[in-house]
Structure 1
Amino acid sequence: MNPYLLEPAHVQHDEYLGTVAAEHDITIHGDDLYEVVGLDRDKWTILGIEFYDGTGPQHGSVDVYAIDREAHDVHSYDRLREIADVDGALPVTHFAVHGVRPEQISQRVFKRYKVQLRSASTADVQLRVEAQGDLQLD
């Protein structure tokens, strides 16, 4: 396999671009991400997670990007930064996770999960909120 850089999220027609934030739910003892995806926490450190969902035959997917701690002698945040500073990137393994849907991760693992999508044509422009409203869907 040829190494490649993990790029920002992309779909066929990038009409909306955005950011996401999430936090683990430690107050009610949410499920451990490593257990949910089946990855050994002592061997691997998850550095990225990717959710995909859409219409058609594909019914959602979860991918994780993790560094092999032993192979790269990573036992601290400082060591991660050192590798990134020297190499310009972190060497990770891409794992396709089977048997779990994207919403299961957010429901089981994260206390809070927020996605913000912006129209691609104005993604680099600040939006100033000057009014508020409500939409009621039945």
Structure 2
Amino acid sequence: MTEHQVLGPATAGWSDYVGTAAAEDAVATLGSPSLYELAGVDRERWTILGVDIAVDESTAVTVYAFDRTTHGVVSVEEIERLGWDSGQIPVTAFAVDDAHVEAFVEDAFKRLTVRLVSRAVRDQALVVQE
């Protein structure tokens, strides 16, 4: 029997701080690698649907991609519909080679924002005062 892992919220040891992240795709420019090239994933076959960036003693990146060829799906809308209809979207994990992690983190996104708050107050409104 194959073991399946459901991707959920990020965790880290005690998870003293929890939060959210948001990113914008980098604009592909001539001469610079795309997200797929940085991750070493074939764009003709796969659609990247998720990214993990883990910073510990070193930085590791894993991308999660859907195999359009195996499932006979072409568009992101069809992938989304598959998820709603079946209750899940099967993805494959691709670890970004250590030699390419730094370039991935620097070049994959135009903007990357991470917000962490203390777990004890995660459901409270934090208001910045001037």
Is TM-score (shorter-chain normalized) higher than 0.5?
Answer: yes
Q: Does 1:37 align with 2:39?
A: yes
1:36-115 equivalent positions in 2, closer than 5 A = 36-55=38-57, 59-99=58-98, 100-101=100-101, 103-115=102-114
Q: Could you tell me how far 1:27 is from its partner in structure 2?
A: 7.2
Larger radius of gyration: 1
Equivalent position of 1:136 in the other structure? none
Q: How big is the shift at 1:83?
A: 0.8
Given the alignment of the two structures, is residue 12 of structure 1 paired with residue 13 of structure 2, yes or no?
A: yes
Residue by residue, what CA displacement relative to the aligned partner does 1:52-96 show, whole Å, maximum 9, x if unpaired?
1113xxx12111110000111221122112211111110111122
Q: Which piece of structure 1 moves more, 77-86 or 2-11? A: 77-86
% same residue: 36
Which structure 2 residue ranges, 5 or more long, are not aligned?
A: none
CA RMSD of aligned residues (A): 1.7
Instruction: Report the number of matched residues.
Output: 127
Code of the aligned partner of 2:23: A
Paired amino acid for 2:40 = G
Unaligned runs of 5+ in 1: 132-138
SS in 2 for 1:106: helix
Aligned equivalents of 1:109 and 1:97: distance in 2? 12
Deviation at 1:117? 0.7
TM-score for both structures, normalised by structure 2 = 0.88
Whether the 8 Å CA contact 1:80–1:90 is kept in 2: the answer is yes
Residue deviations 1:86-126 (CA, integer Å, cap 9, x gap): 1111011112222232x432311222111111111111111
Partner SS, residue 69 of structure 2: coil
* Structure 1 length-normalised TM: 0.83
| Structure ranking higher in helix proportion | 2
Residues 39, 94 of structure 2: 8 Å contact kept: no
1:37 deviates by 1.1
Q: Report if the CA contact (8 A) 1:106-1:113 is conserved.
A: no
